[in-house]
């Protein structure tokens, strides 16, 4: 038969686990993207051959996004933060 102390520990663990999981679930995929297209001088076409698809902040998918710029972007777009590298690999 479990002791009262063991039941309290189990309850605290279950509550902490539930809170942790609900916090993780509530984080939207684009949470890190914080700069507006206007502030980044985003354009929907390449710039001197550079485009979002070749930028390390590009996140390919059904609704194309990047880790820096808010909203949906074009894989052929560009902004002043463009950085060469494989998609979604910037640190
Ligand atoms: S160039 Fe890079 S940082 Fe700028 S919008 Fe495209 S993917 Fe995002």
Which tens digit of pLDDT belongs to each residue from 4-24? Answer: 554 455 555 454 444 444 444
Mean pLDDT of 64-81: 94
Mean pLDDT of 26-37: 67
Q: Render the burial of 14-46: b for 16+ CB within 10 Å, e for the rest.
A: eeeeeeeeeeeeeeeebeebeeebeebebeeeb
Mean pLDDT of 39-54: 97
The pLDDT assigned to 90 comes to 81
Rounded to the nearest angstrom, the distance between the alpha carbon of 29 and the centre of ligand 1 is: 16
Rounded to the nearest angstrom, the distance between the alpha carbon of 2 and the centre of ligand 1 is: 56
pLDDT at 29 over 50: no
The pLDDT assigned to 13 comes to 46
- Cβ–ligand 1 contact at 87 (below 6 Å): no
Where does residue 6 rank: exposed (0-12), middle (13-18), buried (19+ CB within 10 A)?
Answer: exposed
């Amino acid at each position: 038969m479990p002791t009262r102390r063991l039941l309290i520990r189990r309850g605290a663990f279950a509550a902490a686990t539930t809170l942790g999981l609900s916090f993780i679930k509530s984080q939207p995929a684009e949470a890190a993207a914080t700069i507006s297209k206007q502030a980044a001088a985003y354009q929907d076409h390449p710039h001197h051959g550079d485009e979002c698809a070749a930028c390390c902040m590009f996140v390919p998918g059904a609704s194309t996004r990047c880790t820096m710029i808010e909203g949906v972007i074009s894989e052929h777009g560009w902004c002043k933060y463009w950085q060469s590298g494989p998609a979604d690999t910037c640190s």
